[in-house]
Amino acid sequence: MTVADYNTCVDQYADGLFRFVAKNLKDNDAARDVVQDTFEKLWLKVEQVDFQKSKSYLFTAGYHTMIDKIRKEKHSAVMEDHHVELVQTENKYTDLKKVLNKALETLSDIQRHVVLLRDYEGYSYEEIGDITGLNESQVKVYIYRARLAMKNYLGSLENVL
C-alpha cells in the first residue's frame, strides 16, 4: 500500500470506524483513541496490508483494540456500575434514538458488536465473522438473539414511554 492509498483509507473509513467504536464504547474520546491506535497499526503494517483489504483490516484491528480497551477498563468500572444500580430514576423517553440506545445497552457485548456491524455499518455475515473471529453461523445466531432481545425490550410499553 502506498502513502496515497493510506490517506485514501483514512478519508474513506475513519468516520465509519469511529461510529462503530463510539457506539460500543459510548465515549467519544475513547473512540477517537481507538481509531487513532487502529490507523497507527495500519501505518506500521502499511507494506503488508493490501489496499483492497484495508477496510477489513481496519475494522478487525479496531474491533480488537476496542475489546482490549474494554477489558482494561472493566476492572475500574465495577464500583461505578454498583453505584449506578443504587440510583433510582424514572425513565420517560420521547426520543427514539435514546430508546434504541437503551435497548442496545441491554445486549451482551458480542451481540451489540455484531448487530452494529450488520445493521449500522452494513457488513455481510462473512465480513462480520472475519472482524470478530466468529464463524458465519455464530454471527447469524448472535444477530438473531440480539434482535429478539431488542424486540422484547422495545415491545414492553414501560421501556418506550
Residues 51 and 115 in one domain: no
Residues 5 and 47 in one domain: yes
Return the pLDDT at 138.
Answer: 92
Residues 94 and 50 in one domain: no
Return the pLDDT at 93.
Answer: 46
Structural domain for 147, as ranges: 89-161
What CATH number is associated with residue 11? 1.10.1740
> Confidence band (pLDDT; 50, 70, 90) for 26?
confident
Q: Is the pTM of this model over 0.75?
A: no
Last residue of a domain, which of 39, 54, 88? 88
Residues 75 and 104 in one domain: no
Residues 76 and 118 in one domain: no
Is the pLDDT at 1 greater than 50, yes or no?
yes
C-alpha span between 126 and 55 (Å, rounded): 14
Residues 44 and 56 in one domain: yes
Q: Using one digit for the tens of pLDDT, what is the confidence trace for 66-93? A: 888 888 877 664 555 555 565 555 555 4
Residues 57 and 121 in one domain: no
Is the pLDDT at 38 greater than 50, yes or no?
yes
Supply 47's cell numbers: 507494506
Supply 6's cell numbers: 493510506
Return the pLDDT at 91.
Answer: 52
Residues 83 and 7 in one domain: yes
C-alpha span between 57 and 82 (Å, rounded): 36
Amino acid identity of residue 114, one-letter, is V
